[in-house]
Chain A
Amino acid sequence: MIPMALMPIAVIVFGQFLPAYPLRILDLVLLYAMLGLGLNIVVGYAGLLDLGYVAFYAIGAYTYALLASPQFDLHLPFLLVLLIGAGLAALAGVLLGIPVLRLRGDYLAIVTLGFGEIIRVLMNNLDGLTNGPQGIARIDEAVIFGWHLSTPLDYLYLLVVLVVLTFLFVWRLQESSLGIALAAVREDQDAARGCGIDTTGVKLVAFATSATIGGIGGVVFASMQQFVSPESFTFWESLSIVLVVVVGGLGNPFGVILGAALLVVMPELLRAYADYRQLLYGIALVLIILARPMGLIRREYGPSWLVRRMTRA
């Protein structure tokens, strides 16, 4: 346990010495790590492909943007909106989940993709509510019990806390009876049903939990960026989060965090190549997947494995 507990402390200590640009990159790594951990519940644990995860992220972000900005002159406290955003995202997860979870395999993937696009197009077209393509500007910065978050370092503290909480939550989830039921659904749905597992029920819980984490991520993003517009919630964004999970390691929280670090940092390192940046990014992506098709860290080597190793040593 101790080395794991040291990691977040190390990140915070390390953050003290970073200039603002790498600090912002680190913030983004943590944000994507959190989103990846959330999506991993559905993709990694339950074995369902969700290509519209950005919808929940968008719901969280717009909840904060509408409730804490000059748009309607509402300025609700950050933590309250965090709860509302998480709740709305969870609700969306359930509402989407009920009809679609009986679909199998990639039919589910394409319906979630459609859902993601529908949410984005709605955000773009409901001008009266969301201000349409112009987006919502001058969103409040987060204030938590009198602590006013403003600099990238402030957000680093918040994100480290959130990633640690999410990490602990998904790890416990994986080890719980629900996690075992999800693993059974992933391996063989029909056999799982045969064993008396309410497959649709556990999938729904997985979907809602994952959506909740996405919603929280969205609220944090909106407060960090202080601006939201539909172009931040494209299909590409959903794919980026799937990439974080798959490149990092399906079903492995360590892998997801490493995947987030790699996929956020890589495009920044490629900045020097200007016009060829995206091309090199694509090539690197293919090469990484070819080299590690099961992810940077395989499923087996998760936190429970580490704990076993440590206690045995």
Chain B
Amino acid sequence: MATLLLQQAINALTVGAIYALIALGYTMVYGVLRLINFAHSEMFTAGAFVAVFAASLLGGVAGHPGVALAAGFATFLAIGFLGVAVETVAYRPLRGTSRLAPMLSALGMAVVIQNVVMLVGGRRPLIYPSFLPRGVFQIAGAVVTYKQITILAVALVLMVGLELLVSRTSLGVKIRAVAESAETASLVGINPNLPIALIFFVGPGLGAVAGILYASYYGVATFSMGFIIGMKAFTAAILGGIGSIPGAVLGGLLLGFIETFATAWMPALTHGLIGTEYRDIFAFSVLVIILLFRPAGLLGEHVSEETMVYKRDF
């Protein structure tokens, strides 16, 4: 029993770390622009596909662990620049118009990116070469794969790096200033475009890495895989308190645990009444309940409408 719980906890942690990486992209964009960036889920998918392409240029991931690392880094850059390009083309011209316009423009971009991935990367499920080391070991009877350890390590490094960037660097100060109030920030001479561009570089980059980890973990990537997982990661971001970086991490991990444990135990607890087919809505149900008690998410500050960048929502 204890072994089983430990095993499930390890699985939950792995899935949760991936959710958290994607959730970071949603939460950073939202924190600064109050924008639900629907295109983010497709950065995740595009990342998985671009990485395979990059690795094949370098001679395939099977050859040398350095190839996986180099391809991963190249993908981070490529998708980061894609994110900046999307922001420049599809969101920046809409800044200051209405809040719904950029959200739907993002939706349009999501359709565009997904279809480009489909047309270029193909419709067949891509049998994914593992970017992660193989092998297993045991902790107290529970099986842990090197894949899982690597995923957790990569996620941890990226999250700490991001936190340092935001809290310790002058760019981070600018990001926080713009998030607090774009108007006030520009009064003290901060051009909001630079921190916003940085956010649209880092967020999609992290999403792309999450895409590589996810596809390597499950061994398959499809052009349409981003939508559902993106929706869940966004839920995670809200759960933790949107706009908050630690909140996104907490929300992602929590979501991983909720899904894993609810799917494992609900069928038994409810005598099969609620089976695994309800997996996709466990997260939402928990979200609804949490928001009813904490309307700003777990770690979110309760901001009044006044502090938002655009006070008039619609």
Query: Is A in direct contact with B (CB under 8 Å) within the complex?
Result: yes
Is the CB–CB distance between B292 and A99 below 8 Å? yes
A-side contacts of B198, CB under 8 Å? none
Is there a chain B Cβ closer than 8 Å to A104's Cβ?
A: yes
Instruction: Count how many pairs of residues, one from A and one from B, have CB atoms less than 8 Å apart in the complex.
Output: 135
CB-CB < 8 A to A138: which residues of B? none
Determine the distance from Cα of A141 to Cα of B9 in the docked complex, in whole angstroms.
52
Q: Which bracket fits the contact residues of B?
A: 35 or more
Q: Are A294 and B97 within 8 A (Cβ)?
A: yes
Check: A239 CB closer than 8 A to any chain B CB. Answer: yes
Across-interface contacts of B296 in A (CB, < 8 A): 107
Q: Which of B90, B105, B278 contacts A121 (CB 8 A)?
A: B278
A65 within 8 A of B: no
Residue A286 lies at the interface, judged by CB distance under 8 Å to chain B: yes
List, in ascending order, chain A residues with CB within 8 A of B281's CB. Answer: 114, 117-118, 121
Q: Are B111's CB and A43's CB within 8 A? A: no
CB-nearest residue of chain A relative to B286? A114
Query: B36, B100, B111, B112: which has the most chain A beta carbons within 10 Å?
Result: B100
Dominant secondary structure at the B interface: helix
Contact B119 A290 (CB under 8 A): no
Say whether B101 contacts A107, CB under 8 Å.
no
Q: A112 — nearest CB in chain B belongs to which residue? A: B288
Structural contact, A282 and B108, CB atoms closer than 8 A: yes
Q: Within the assembled complex, what's the spacing in Å between the Cα atoms of A118 and B119? A: 32
Q: What does DSSP make chain A's interface, helix, strand, loop or mixed?
A: helix
Bound CA–CA A247/B297 (angstroms): 30
Does A279 make an interface contact (CB < 8 A)? yes
Give Cα A121–Cα B97 distance, bound, in whole angstroms. Answer: 36
A157 in the interface (beta carbon within 8 A):
no
- Interchain CB contact under 8 A, A107 and B238: yes
- B residues 145-165 near A (Cβ < 8 Å) are none
Contacts of B116 in A (CB 8 A): 279
Contacts of A283 in B (CB 8 A): 108, 112
Interface segment out of the listed A21-29, A77-85, A168-176, A185-193? A185-193
Q: Please name all residues of chain B whose beta carbon is closer than 8 Å to the beta carbon of A289 when the two chains form the complex.
A: 94, 101, 104-105, 108
- With beta carbons under 8 angstroms apart, the residue of A109, A187, A278 that contacts B36 is A109
Chain A residue nearest to B113 (CB atoms) is: A282
List chain B residues, Cβ under 8 A from A113. Answer: 231, 284
- Chain B, 258-314, CB within 8 A of any chain A CB: 275, 277-278, 280-281, 284-285, 287-288, 291-292, 295-297, 304-305, 308, 312-314
Q: A106 near B: Cβ within 8 Å?
A: yes
Is B135 an interface residue when CB atoms closer than 8 A count as contact?
A: no
Cα–Cα, bound, A276→B112 (Å): 10
Q: How far does the Cβ of B291 sit from chain A's closest Cβ, in whole Å? A: 6
B68 to chain A, nearest CB (A): 31
B16-31 toward A: CB 8 Å interface, digit per residue (1/0)? 0000000000000010
B235 at the interface (CB under 8 A from A): yes
B10 in contact (CB, < 8 A): no
B94 close to A290 (CB less than 8 A): yes
- Residues of A in contact with B (beta carbons under 8 Å apart): 43-44, 47, 49, 99-100, 102-107, 109-111, 113-115, 117-118, 121, 124-125, 186-190, 235, 239, 242-243, 246-247, 250, 275-276, 278-279, 281-286, 289-290, 293-294
Q: What are 21 A-B pairs at a CB distance below 8 A?
A: A47-B314, A49-B314, A102-B295, A106-B238, A107-B297, A110-B287, A110-B291, A114-B284, A115-B288, A187-B312, A247-B104, A250-B100, A276-B115, A276-B119, A279-B119, A286-B90, A290-B90, A290-B105, A293-B93, A293-B97, A294-B98
Residues of B within 8 A of A (CB): 30, 34, 36, 89-90, 93-94, 97-98, 100-101, 104-105, 107-112, 114-116, 119, 231, 234-235, 238, 242, 275, 277-278, 280-281, 284-285, 287-288, 291-292, 295-297, 304-305, 308, 312-314
| 8 cross-chain pairs, A with B, having the tightest CB-CB distances, nearest first | A282-B111, A114-B284, A285-B108, A282-B112, A293-B97, A279-B115, A286-B108, A293-B101
